[in-house]
Structure 1
């Protein structure tokens, strides 16, 4: 003899009602989701409130989770113009030039001092701007590729790069130009290099070997090295005979 069927449970009734009424099913789902979010967020909200009320809580963090440093006034003389900036002490000179001053000619290549694309001149001395902090250069004269031309006239090395077609994609060119500009002045001042035969004496001839050695910190991934060397030789010879 078969047993009479049991009456439907409350859960079964709920399932039956939601199957017959899609709007009710959607409403129940949204209510459950909202409840789950509230329960999950409660510990975080409590922790955040506790941190705000705690005077010993750590400093606020940025989007990457790093602690923000307070900004400080930094005065930089760039291409003959004084710029008064508000920077974190850890901002590199490269980022200050690009992100705060708007001089986008200086390129960020490797960001670790290996490619030379970020080369600029600090008091005439070439440096990798990605490896130095902006705050370290107050009182110095910074020259970027935008400052090589004077009164709308290209500098000798800029003109020689065009004549010799010493670039292809152009990404490394700003650093190459700044480095080549300083290279010629360094040679004139008698600075020796690893290619100088006698480092005890002032080098007398700027050879291809000297140029390649002195420009070795600037990488050209397109491989325009022969034309870059030719451009530097052209400028050196013209200035020597002038």
Structure 2
């Protein structure tokens, strides 16, 4: 059986003294976290000026605000959807300076001075964009969650093809040629969990051909 040594300091006393010392040292450290210090940890705010759907916007944002959150939370443009929030589904697609962008991965501060188009900027219920009308005509949606991103992406994708972008299907082609295969490849970043892909491709084909009915 273990016995405490006589004539010296016991292990219990040493442990007790150590705990008391640690408590005393921790108290000043806790006290050092004052409201002033907490305010210093607040995220920096930045001024961002953009043109969104033809309207100038002057915003003061947390520097970490994404383009998607800026539109949804600050401008109340909720058409662009937050799907995966990892840039993999395309539900948040916007057109920025003529290019398709996954807005959930792009910080608003990166686009100071840029021109941005969301689904709200393409058409209205009374005057649909041709791509919106084609999606309705071909039933290019089911649940509708991915539809804003699909439509925005399709509009920009057709511009890519018309402007002579290289082919996704045949890299040896200097300019892309319109085909259903080319469309599928170029739209592959926009996922439809309802699998309305044939209807989406048909809708895009109508717009490319200029069909209105």
Give the secondary-structure state (helix, strand or coil) at the position aligned to 2:86.
coil
- Equivalent pairs counted in the alignment come to 189
Deviation track 1:98-153 (CA, whole Å, cap 9, x = no partner) reads 11111100000000100000000001211000111001111111000000016941
Q: Does 1:207 align with 2:179?
A: yes
**Any unmatched runs of 5+ in structure 1?**
1-42, 62-66
Q: TM-score, normalised by structure 1?
A: 0.71
Distance 1:96 1:45, change over 3 A: farther
Partners of 1:189 and 1:169 lie apart in 2 by 32
**Contact kept? 1:94, 1:108, Cα under 8 Å:** yes
Partners of 1:129 and 1:187 lie apart in 2 by 22
Give the secondary-structure state (helix, strand or coil) at the position aligned to 2:116.
strand
Quote the RMSD (CA, aligned, Å): 2.5
**Any unmatched runs of 5+ in structure 2?**
1-24
Partner residue of 1:69?
43
Which protein has the larger Cα radius of gyration, Structure 1 or Structure 2?
A: 1
| Of 53, 62, 66, the match for 1:88 | 62
> More displaced, 112-121 or 83-92?
83-92
Give the secondary-structure state (helix, strand or coil) at the position aligned to 1:154.
coil
Q: Which has the higher contact order (CA 8 A, sep 6+)?
A: 2
**Contact kept? 2:146, 2:192, Cα under 8 Å:** yes
Partners of 1:138 and 1:197 lie apart in 2 by 33
Q: Does 1:224 align with 2:196?
A: yes
How far the C-alpha of 1:180 sits from its partner, in A, is 0.2
Q: TM-score, normalised by structure 2?
A: 0.81
Partner residue of 2:33?
51
**Contact kept? 2:168, 2:176, Cα under 8 Å:** no
Give the secondary-structure state (helix, strand or coil) at the position aligned to 1:97.
helix
How far the C-alpha of 1:83 sits from its partner, in A, is 1.5
Partners of 2:42 and 2:184 lie apart in 1 by 42
Distance 1:237 1:197, change over 3 A: farther
